[in-house]
Structure 1
Amino acid sequence: MLSRTGTTTATNERRTAVAKKEPGKVETIAAELRGKIERSAPGFGPGDKLPSVADLQAAHGIAFQTARDVFRALERDGLAFTQQGRGSFVSPFIGKLTRDGVGRYQPAARAEGGARGAFEAELNRLGLVYKPVATDIGRARPPKDVAAAFGLHHSAKAVYRSRAMRAGRDASPSDEGFVVQLATSWFPLEIAADTRLEKQDTGPGGSKSRLADLGFTQRRIRESIEARFPTPEEAEALSIPDDRQVYELVHQASTEDGRVVEVAVHVMPVTIWRFSYTWELDAE
């Protein structure tokens, strides 16, 4: 039987052994690549293609799964992304994009520089470039919570605008950009039908300005945010592993009389985005 002193000695020896244990191959190789990415070493700058799994195997004498786990470790840190059939790349954004949750929807802010909405204007202010892609536009029955917000019958349809929103570092055609969020916006059919809200280009200021043109100026915005794991389809669209969390931000906008005229659902990787809010408080 071990004495109390003997037990303590054995425990300390185990702790010392653990402390001296060398990091595994995945951690060691990932740390090496992480260092190169963080200092933008040649071939490891934003958007650069990383060595292939086969290259990593050959260079370090490791198994296929070990090499794959190295890339997954970088993906979890938000430093890399993988595209099926193309390989792995350094993330274009080392660090996070800050979303100004209050000021971004002011009319002057969302139309600044001719921007087509708050997202494009926000990217411009961050020194990035909005990379427009075709928006999926149509009419369908919205999710139950959206229908409830609009006060619609469960079988009624609404107008939707769904898009994978891309940001790039420059305006050159060779820069395809990087999907930084998925967004689907819903509008009541009786308001949006056969208007510019059903066109690809909604014009300066985006959908909020077009709603104002139609007499539905938004005066109140409510947003709720929660973290969750992405669906397989979301993970693929965002080029992230399915074990990396995303923010789901639900944006609900209403007019002065309280009518909800827009509900938007944004899906945003937690490794890319942070949220900033500033309020003015009443005097004591």
Structure 2
Amino acid sequence: MPSRRHGIADDLRNQIATGRIKAGERLPSEAQLAARYMVSTATLRSALAVLQSEGLVEKIHGKGNFVLHPLQKITYIGGRVTLDTRTAAEAPLRVTVRTTKIRARGHLTALLKVPTGSPLTEFLCLNHEGESPHSLARIYVRRDLVPAAVLGESPTCEEAVARLALLRPPSVHVRETVSVRLPTPDEASALRISSALAVLAITRVTADVTGRVVEAALLVFPGDRADAVFTTHHVVDESRTQG
């Protein structure tokens, strides 16, 4: 027999699926829903957490719980992010970017192979689909490798990445580490997702032919809207196929 919270989640999920509660609509207050289902507020919030973890509902602090529009599916293939047009929503993706001058600390010193306190530039890129956060990227570069004149004032993420690519040597080494984990409190807040929803986290480090790191990027995608695709190429020993 399903628990009370799962029964409530099932009922709300069905109302969303059948269109009785439409995308973008605010749900009744938690107190009203708790009274309707004759449960405690804690049980009601637990039921909403199930829907939040599924990407059906998001809670906006001070405003309430809203039904999410279906978000575009992300496919990550070898350093490239593509959007599944079959899951495309009406709202186009837009990017907000914040550029900050910081000093290397902790894991950044290891990623960029620089001493503690080295000057870096951070590009914090947050993708939105309509009003809903879609994915998050943090790009770090050594400030001595990026003249201010190259980046200009407040470039978008696409502009920053394109300009940084022009600075790289023709031959580079890219190492990517892919993991599935729970989001940090900052990531859950920025993406407006449940702290119980796993994210696809990708750390990408780009180095030149001498081994000097020229860029480190930390990419975070909510697990309910991201796939990672890996292709393995098998080398055939032609000597064994002859004779």
Range of TM-score over shorter length: 0.7 to 0.9
CA RMSD of aligned residues (A): 2.7
What residue is the counterpart of 2:154 in the other structure?
200
| Structure label with greater radius of gyration | 1
What residue is the counterpart of 1:42 in the other structure?
20
SS for the counterpart of 1:154 is coil
Q: 2:8 is matched with which residue: 3, 25, 29?
A: 29
SS for the counterpart of 1:200 is coil
**Offset of 1:87 from its aligned partner?**
1.0
CA distance in 1, matches of 2:171, 2:58: 37
Q: 2:137 is matched with which residue: 178, 183, 186?
A: 183
Contact 1:196 1:202 in 2 (8 A): no
Q: Using structure 2 for the length normalisation, give the TM-score.
A: 0.81
Q: 1:158 to 1:54 in 2, by over 3 A?
A: same
Q: Any gaps of 5 or more consecutive residues in structure 2? A: 238-243
**Offset of 1:213 from its aligned partner?**
2.4
| CA deviation profile, 1:61-117 (whole Å, cap 9, x unmatched) | 3322222222112112222111111111223336x723232262xxxxxxxxxxxxx
What residue is the counterpart of 1:13 in the other structure?
none
CA distance in 2, matches of 1:195, 1:277: 37
CA distance in 1, matches of 2:79, 2:118: 33
Q: 1:99 to 1:211 in 2, by over 3 A?
A: same
Read off the aligned partner of 1:251 and give its amino acid letter.
R
What residue is the counterpart of 1:91 in the other structure?
68
CA distance in 2, matches of 1:88, 1:124: 27
| CA deviation profile, 1:247-280 (whole Å, cap 9, x unmatched) | 3321112234443211011233222322122344
Aligned length, in residue pairs: 234
| CA deviation profile, 1:158-217 (whole Å, cap 9, x unmatched) | 111113222x2xxxxxx32x11222211011111130443532258x5434212323545
What residue is the counterpart of 1:59 in the other structure?
36
What residue is the counterpart of 1:153 in the other structure?
115
SS for the counterpart of 2:127 is strand
When structure 1 is superposed on structure 2, of 181-190 and 223-232 the one drifting more is 223-232
Q: 1:279 to 1:64 in 2, by over 3 A?
A: same
Read off the aligned partner of 1:74 and give its amino acid letter.
L
Read off the aligned partner of 1:197 and give its amino acid letter.
L
Q: 1:198 to 1:139 in 2, by over 3 A?
A: farther
Q: Any gaps of 5 or more consecutive residues in structure 1? A: 1-21, 105-117, 169-174
SS for the counterpart of 2:8 is helix
> Superposition pairs for residues 68-83 of structure 1, below 5 Å?
68-83=45-60
| CA deviation profile, 1:115-135 (whole Å, cap 9, x unmatched) | xxx5xxx348664522222x2
CA distance in 2, matches of 1:143, 1:97: 34
Structure with the higher strand share, 1 or 2: 2
Q: 1:32 to 1:201 in 2, by over 3 A?
A: same
What residue is the counterpart of 1:131 in the other structure?
94
SS for the counterpart of 1:271 is helix
Read off the aligned partner of 1:183 and give its amino acid letter.
A
Q: 1:226 is matched with which residue: 153, 161, 179?
A: 179
CA distance in 1, matches of 2:10, 2:67: 14
Q: 1:30 to 1:131 in 2, by over 3 A?
A: same
CA distance in 2, matches of 1:123, 1:64: 38
Q: Percent identity?
A: 24
SS for the counterpart of 1:209 is helix
When structure 1 is superposed on structure 2, of 209-218 and 59-68 the one drifting more is 209-218
Q: 1:282 is matched with which residue: 212, 235, 239?
A: 235
Structure 1 runs of 4+ aligned residues shifted over 6 Å read none
SS for the counterpart of 1:100 is strand
CA distance in 1, matches of 2:120, 2:222: 27
| CA deviation profile, 1:214-269 (whole Å, cap 9, x unmatched) | 35456332111223332322222221222333233211122344432110112332
What residue is the counterpart of 1:254 in the other structure?
207
Contact 1:208 1:217 in 2 (8 A): no
CA distance in 2, matches of 1:40, 1:252: 45
